[in-house]
Structure 1
């Protein structure tokens, strides 16, 4: 069969666990990315991943660490497989996707993400918030409940992540989110899961951080991507003339990963590979799209499995 491959780049929030050091020892391209990260920052992010260091749950550390890991996996795998048909990242993973598509130089993107993580952690401390995953396909009900909660508390609760048709994450001020959860439960929504996050990302509570970050974005020399990169904010492909504008909105507006998945379906994608510490994006894809293959690459064994199975599929076609 003809393979149309999309890479999915993990966002923040995955489970922190040790990574087998074999890939670092065996793959020079993977190793080189972490060496660059060390030169840029003086921080040994690879040692943190190898140890499963719990500091990786801190936003200011997690963001550059996940960026380094995801782009390292991309460098280790992409030359062994057909050219990607599309690249998608969730939240900070969008910067990994744009870097893989050569829209942003790696060094510039690493500095951007490091700054983004620091700003978002500071904003979370200045403006405490919470988030909760709502397991319901009734998007209209979720949005109305957030509006009602905001009106009754005078605070903000909004949809923050449209992950797939049956999961939407809401976020904002803790009291407003709590009220929205109460309204949803009264309306019959039975599964609502509080998230262990440090702040209300992709909500107006990040406005303080975004104002500073936008100034950084205005200085970035973007290039047109060599591979289509799909925006979380619009659900459509980034173009050179909209990259800065879309990224300037991303921190304070909802991510629309479900729209990104719909776009992959329109493009005829057959297989997806998630690169990073988790497998949430592959899980969302499995629950939304009927594809040939779903792969989560987070160590040498999973990388080799993806390469072997996709290479075999190509030979059989």
Structure 2
């Protein structure tokens, strides 16, 4: 039975200064930040963000993945290892690195490529994203179908029971949210995003990733990975490449992924941040299933790491 999961945060929780205290205190964290070669200064972007650009997708993605790979290395060196891994959207790449599919250098470079591909795919689209609280998927799908007459809109994230996220063209997303409120949604909260991620607009990004994947090696995962696209481990006839291509242009099944891990006996969820959003999703899923003996830990700072396990 699986017992401990590492969950990797997705884009959106990044902030100036993230990882700076870890860099000062852990040589294994420094190794990653000092040895990855990108077209920008990774340390300066994460720790100082002098131009206020860390929220731009092309920078966010490699920064988040470098942070996650560094944290994973710290935990490994402390003898703390997962029985299963998963991540939200971008976080799936950090999960695959933790499972040994790529090394950290390849993973960070891949995240940078993905960020650029998604930025290009989002160009010239007036994008919108709205979190819908308290409406089930079936009812929200009806709202989405009606709003499609105004443009592209779909459910791009199924985060946890009672929280679904709409994405696509702003006018269509706004219409679907309006209809959701009329259908009984408790709240609709617009989110600050730079593109229509996990929608059909990302087809070109998926195609670019597919081509990129042809030139890199995929090792066999050493531990189980739960994939966003299917909400479970991959089957023998599925490839990581196909699942990642599909992930960028389809909705993220986080509820299903968390439920899969709960059903497999995971009792401890270690969220590798920044942020604590995934721990909230886990708690909601566990509550819905009547499970009350799980432990959620969020790790972002030096203090978090040192206190973990005490």
TM-score by length of 1: 0.90
Tell me the CA shift for residue 15 of structure 1: 5.0
User: Please, what is the CA RMSD of the aligned residues?
Assistant: 1.9
Cα distance in structure 2, aligned partners of 1:199 and 1:42 = 22
| Structure-to-structure mapping, 1:84-95, within 5 angstroms | 84-95=82-93
Question: In the alignment, what sits opposite 2:302?
Answer: 300
| 1:99 Cα offset (Å) | 0.6
User: Does the CA-based 8 Å contact 2:99-2:224 persist in structure 1?
Assistant: yes
Partners of 1:3 and 1:271 within 8 A in 2: no
**Secondary structure of residue in 1 paired with 2:167:** strand
CA distance in 2, matches of 1:128, 1:81: 46
More deviation, 212-221/108-117:
212-221
**1:64: Cα distance to partner?**
0.3
- Once residues 291 and 82 of structure 1 are traced to their aligned partners in structure 2, the CA distance between those partners, rounded to angstroms, is 20
Contact 1:77 1:307 in 2 (8 A): no
Return closer, same or farther for 1:114/1:15 CA change in 2, 3 Å cut-off: closer
Partner of 1:56: 54
Match of 1:138 among 126, 136, 139: 136
Q: Which has the higher helix share?
A: 1
Identify the residue that residue 80 of structure 1 maps to in structure 2. Answer: 78
Q: Which of 215, 227, 232 is 1:236 aligned to?
A: 232
**Contact preservation (8 Å) 1:20, 1:299:** yes
- The CA deviation string for residues 213-251 of structure 1, in whole angstroms up to 9 with x for no partner, is 221123332121111110000111136752111111011
> Is this contact kept in 2: 1:128–1:173, CA < 8 A?
yes
Name which of 153, 177, 182 aligns with 1:181. 177
Partner deviation per Cα, 1:7-36 (whole Å, 9 max, x = no partner):
011110115242473321221111111112
Which residue matches 1:315?
none
Alignment of 1:101-250 (within 5 A): 101-150=99-148, 152-153=149-150, 155-238=151-234, 241-250=238-247
Unpaired segments ≥5 residues, structure 1 = 309-317
The alpha-carbon deviation at position 201 of structure 1 amounts to 0.5
Contact in 1 for aligned 2:100/2:222 (Cα 8 Å): yes
Query: After alignment, is 288-297 or 7-16 more displaced?
Result: 288-297
Structure 2 contact 157–164 (Cα < 8 Å) conserved = yes
| Aligned mates of 1:263, 1:88 — CA distance in 2 | 11
Aligned residue in 1 for 2:248: 251
Change in CA separation of 1:213 and 1:199 when aligned onto 2, cut-off 3 Å:
same
Q: Distance in 1 between matches of 2:8 and 2:154?
A: 24
Secondary structure of the residue aligned to 1:171 is strand
1:244 counterpart SS class: helix
8 Å CA contact retained: 2:16, 2:54: no
1:77 shift after superposition: 1.1
| In structure 2, C-alpha distance between the alignment counterparts of 1:45 and 1:286, rounded to whole Å | 33
